[in-house]
């Protein structure tokens, strides 16, 4: 799957975003080593700490289905147009580091990055 195709999958995921408080839609598409794709969107809650980001939604969906090997994740977001880069938050980067290697490709509208590049000093036990 190309980066553009994965970004389109993330855009489809953003259509399901529940963002009635921030009005900031986010979609993620997680490419698994076997070629399958899990989509996730942000799901807000009036108690903001209970909000779940799109990236974690996609990862948790995959893990809950027994998938543990990932190649890339594409992320889009915005309060209207989804063309500006939407970088993952620290919590999402930390969850990625739990399940992915530092070479995980993180695909944004401004290009491709790696987990090592975006979060070089991760918490590990």
Which domains does the chain possess?
3-118 (3.40.140.10)
The reply to whether the predicted model has a pTM over 0.85 is yes
CB atoms within 10 A of CB 84: 13
Structure tokens at 68: 């543990």
d(CA 108, CA 28): 10
Residue given tokens 């529940």 in the structure block: 18
User: Which parts are annotated binding residues for Zn(2+)?
Assistant: 53, 89, 92
Q: Is 55 a catalytic residue?
A: yes
Tell me the pLDDT tens digit for each residue of 42-92. Answer: 999 999 999 999 999 999 999 999 999 999 999 999 998 999 999 999 999
The overall average pLDDT reported for the chain is 97
Question: Residue positions in the annotated binding site?
Answer: 42-48, 53, 89, 92
User: CA-CA-CA-CA torsion for 15, 19, 24, 30, nearest 10 degrees?
Assistant: -50
Residue 104 in contact with residue 112, Cβ under 8 Å?
Answer: no
What pLDDT sits at residue 125? 86
Is pLDDT of 6 > 90? yes
Catalytic: which of 55, 69, 112, 117?
55
């Amino acid at each position: 799957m190309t980066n553009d195709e994965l970004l389109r999958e993330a855009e489809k995921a953003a259509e399901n975003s529940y963002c009635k408080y921030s009005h900031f839609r986010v979609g993620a598409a997680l490419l698994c080593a076997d070629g399958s794709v899990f989509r996730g969107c942000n799901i807000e809650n009036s108690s903001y700490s209970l909000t779940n980001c799109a990236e974690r939604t996609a990862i948790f969906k995959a893990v809950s289905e027994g998938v543990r090997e990932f190649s890339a994740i594409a992320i889009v977001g915005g309060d209207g147009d989804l063309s500006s880069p939407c970088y993952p938050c620290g919590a999402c980067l930390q969850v990625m580091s739990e399940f992915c290697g530092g070479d995980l490709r993180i695909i944004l509208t401004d290009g491709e990055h790696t987990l090592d590049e975006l979060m070089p000093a991760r918490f590990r036990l």
